Amino acid sequence: MDVDAYVAAHDEEWKRLERLINNSRKLSGAEVDELVELYQRTATHLSVVRSSSPDPLLVGRLTSLVARGRAAVAGAQAPMWRDVSRFFTVSFPATAYRMRWWWIGCAVLGNLFSLAVAIWIVKNPDVQASIGTPGQIRELVEKDFANYYTEHSAASFAFKVWINNAWVSAVAIIFGILLGIPVIWVLFQNQLNLGLTGGLMVAHGKGDIFFGLILPHGLLELTAVYLACAAGLRLGWTIIDPGHRPRSQALPEEGRSTMNIALGLIVVLFVSGLIEGFVTGWVHTTWLRIGIGVVAEVAFLTYIFVLGRRAVRAGETTDILDGPDRAPTAA
């Protein structure tokens, strides 16, 4: 594409849009219609430029103009609840669905690692002895593991685990900027702790207690961690291989999509924290505890795969700068 010719052909439209945006509070009905039309056309121009031109200045100019145009067109008319609703029904599930193979891969590899660690510990008494003294291990499997879920009030414990899990997930996402390499450490450190504790519990005949207490909240909590690790790894991989997009375009776009995951996981981990705080240690019927965890996990996966697939098929880009009202028009 001849960038100079494209700019010459559309520059007056962009300047006119900017003037309308600057006076958006004083527009007549006809000018409002013109603003909407120019905003939609400029959004299409931005898509064309992104895919055809490596010029970062032009991309930056049009990105800013589209963002301001969206605010002028929708800001005064769309209440905040509509943006929140769109985030949870479109943006977050679409982003999670798009990176489904990344977090499913994290889940499979992570749990295979935990299983291998647990089996290694169960079958090797010498390994168990290297972890702690017989008294320390007995204290863990007979008291500490179960008491951990009830030693604080349900509300304070739920808040504590929510903050802790949100921090672990945030670290996994942030580490993506380091080519994703530290994300692998976060994932396997988390899985190592799971396999180590599980192995000790099973080795001492407490496997039923371990799974009865870890599954209610762990299903949803670990899924959230896998999703956070996937977001960090995908961001890191974009630095290495941006694909068909220029790296200067791919990284901001992937970063903005990753923000969908970070914000959505705050709510997901809040739910898992509530289950851990109010169900895991306080519902004494094992099948009911696990059943609550299974229902929460199935509901979350259904939410991602139903709403996410629908949004992706509808053309959702998962880029927060792309507005929901963008309509294709002739370039």
Residue type, 100: R
Helix, strand, coil shares, percent, the chain, to 5: 80, 0, 20
Predicted confidence at residue 50, as pLDDT, reads: 82
Count the neighbouring beta carbons within 10 Å of the beta carbon of residue 78. 16
Q: Residue holding tokens 């994300």? A: 183
**Residue 91 CB partners (closer than 8 Å, separation 6+):** 260, 311, 316, 318, 320
**Residue 145 CB partners (closer than 8 Å, separation 6+):** 197, 201, 206, 209, 210, 213
Residues 120-149, buried b or exposed e (16+ Cβ, 10 A)?
ebbeeeebbeeeeeeeebeebbeeebbeeb
What span, in angstroms and rounded, lies between the C-alpha atoms of 186 and 195? 14
Predicted confidence at residue 214, as pLDDT, reads: 97
Predicted confidence at residue 1, as pLDDT, reads: 67
Contact 213, 149 (CB under 8 A): yes
Q: 3-state secondary structure string, 133-149?
A: CHHHHHHHHHHHHHHCC
What span, in angstroms and rounded, lies between the C-alpha atoms of 183 and 250? 20
What span, in angstroms and rounded, lies between the C-alpha atoms of 5 and 279? 64
Tens-binned pLDDT, residue by residue, of the chain (331 aa): 677 888 889 999 999 999 988 887 777 778 888 888 999 999 899 888 887 766 778 888 888 899 888 888 765 454 567 778 889 999 999 999 999 999 999 999 999 999 999 999 999 999 999 999 999 999 999 999 999 999 889 999 999 999 999 999 999 999 998 988 999 999 999 999 999 999 999 999 999 999 999 999 999 999 999 999 999 999 999 989 888 878 877 888 888 888 999 999 999 999 999 999 999 999 999 999 999 999 999 999 999 999 999 998 987 766 555 544 433 333 3
Contact 296, 275 (CB under 8 A): yes
What span, in angstroms and rounded, lies between the C-alpha atoms of 229 and 106? 7
Judged on CB neighbours under 10 Å (0-12, 13-18, 19+), 314 is exposed
Predicted confidence at residue 187, as pLDDT, reads: 95
**Residue 328 CB partners (closer than 8 Å, separation 6+):** 44
**Residue 237 CB partners (closer than 8 Å, separation 6+):** 180
Which bin fits 330, alpha (ψ -120 to 50), beta or left (φ > 0)?
beta
Predicted confidence at residue 94, as pLDDT, reads: 93
Q: First vs last Cα of the chain: how many Å apart? A: 13
**pTM value?**
0.74
**Among 195, 141, 186, 185, which Cα is nearest to 167's?**
186
Structure tokens at 10: 């559309």
Predicted confidence at residue 307, as pLDDT, reads: 95
Rounded to a whole number, what is the largest CA-CA distance in the chain?
82
Judged on CB neighbours under 10 Å (0-12, 13-18, 19+), 185 is exposed
